[in-house]
Each structure stands twice: as C-alpha cells, then as structure tokens.
Structure 1
Amino acid sequence: MTPRRPITLALGCAAALLALAGCGSTHASTAASGPAPTITAVTTPAAVTADEKADHTTVKVAVGATVSVELHATYWSPATSSAPEVLSPAGAPTTVPSPSCRPGGGCGTVTTSFTARTAGTAHLTASRTVCGEALNCSPDQRSYDVTIEVTG
C-alpha cells in the first residue's frame, strides 16, 4: 500500500457529500433515481480517489490533480480514460490481493491513477465479468463509469 498525500478539507467535504448522496453501484438503482449527481471534489490541484460509490457520478477536479480509481475486487480490469489528452495515465495500474483471501476469491484492490492535463471531460471506465468465485456478474454489475470534469 502506498502512502497517500494529505487530503484537503474540500476533499473531505466532497467525500462526505458522496456518502450522503447514497450513490449505488448498479445501473438499475442509478436509472431509477434519475440523472447522476454532480459532486464538486476540489478546485485546486489535489489527489482524489474514486471507488465503487462514485460509479455513475461526476467529479470535478482542477488541472494538475491526480485522480485514482480504486475498485475493491481483483476481478475488475484497470480503469481506462476515454480522453487521455484530458486525463492521462499516471504510472502502471496496481493489483493488490488481500493476503487473507482464499485463492480465486477476488479479494483485494485494483488501482489506476490519472493526471488531469487540460480542461475537459473524460470517463474513467472499468469492467468485470466475474463477481465471485465461479459467479458471473449480472449485466448491471459488469461496468464502472465515473465522469471527471477537469477545470482550468
């Protein structure tokens, strides 16, 4: 596990807003509740980490920010950016299995980091087909998509 940079008060408030928004991780719950909420994370360069709770939300960051997608199962593919000129990969993705997990259990994390290069919008997406040992995911559990709006 790598050390994390200090998180600003604004980022802490954004995390609280994400928790209060009650964003689901499935397409069905998102579709039923209407359009995805926009969460303003930071207005100055900082580090932001999005996980399953950020699925189908919009996060705003400033140019220079580092955005990491940390998904909590090793069955997920590393996240990719729909607009690398806006959000470019920052190093290789990391997969960290949990040492207490049984083989094939999928316990652990897959983390991919990106750097906000220029103002614009990008989708960070990941996918999986397996949701547990010998358990295929239902269609609404197979994809992850968070929209990142980068401001100048």
Structure 2
Amino acid sequence: MPRIALSMTINGARYDIETASTATLLDVIRDQLGLTGTKKGCDMGGCGACTVLVEGRRIASCLALAASFSDAVLTTIEGIGTADRLHPLQAAFIRHDALQCGYCTPGQILSGIALLSENPRSFEEIREGMSGNLCRCGAYPGIVAAIAEVAGL
C-alpha cells in the first residue's frame, strides 16, 4: 500500500508522520499518535464518537482521509482542558451529569464547542445542532443543559 508524508498540528503540537495513503484521520490520531480520547464508534460517520475539530469546524474523523489534512490545525479532546483547568463545557457536563459511560463524551464535548461558536439561541437549536452525536446511555437532557448553560440560555 502506498505511503504518504503528512504534517499537521494537533492540540498545538506539530506532527510529521508517514502513513498509508488510505488511512483515516481517526486511525492516524488514535493508532499512530496515541491520542485515544477520540473514539471509534460506528466507523460510518453516524454516531459522532470520532468528532474532532479542524480549524474550529467539527468533522467525523472516521470518514476523513488523513491525506486531506496535511498542514491542518486540529483539536482533539486532549487539547481542550486539563484535570486542573477544565474547559467551561467540560465543567458544565460534570455539573449537569451529562455523561454516564463516557464513551461518547469526547465527541459530544467537541461538537458542543463547535456549536457554541455558532451561537445557538434556543434549546431547540442545541438539540438540532447536536443531532449528529449519539448517546446510547440517554444523557441527552444533561448534554443539552450543559451546552445551554455555557451558551447563557
């Protein structure tokens, strides 16, 4: 299988890697770079577990060829807060009990951050904006409440 060289910035760190030309962004992030906060769920772009931000825009990394993101600036869940200094949305997720098993939480939080940059004006806009992220545990009320809190609704 042909290999390609890529350079990308993830969470503020520059990475120069060589990978298969068919590798997905998810596979590079998890398997080659060891950033395992981004999850593999359905592997078909339907669940949102693999959500990452590319220059502030959310994408399903399981559907994206890594080759398309050379020189891109990406953010994964590892890049948005620390244990000592949570991102405001991470803190709101805790306050609103917006997680249960936690598997979908990284994708939910990154999608929520991207949605907040779009300035949602209602709970309905939040629900619609988060419709690409599934939570099999059913923590939706807490997720919506956490995003609404950070949005000031």
Normalised-by-shorter TM-score class: under 0.3
So what's the TM-score if we normalise by structure 1?
Answer: 0.27
Please state which structure has a larger fraction of its residues in strand: 1
Please state which structure has a larger fraction of its residues in helix: 2
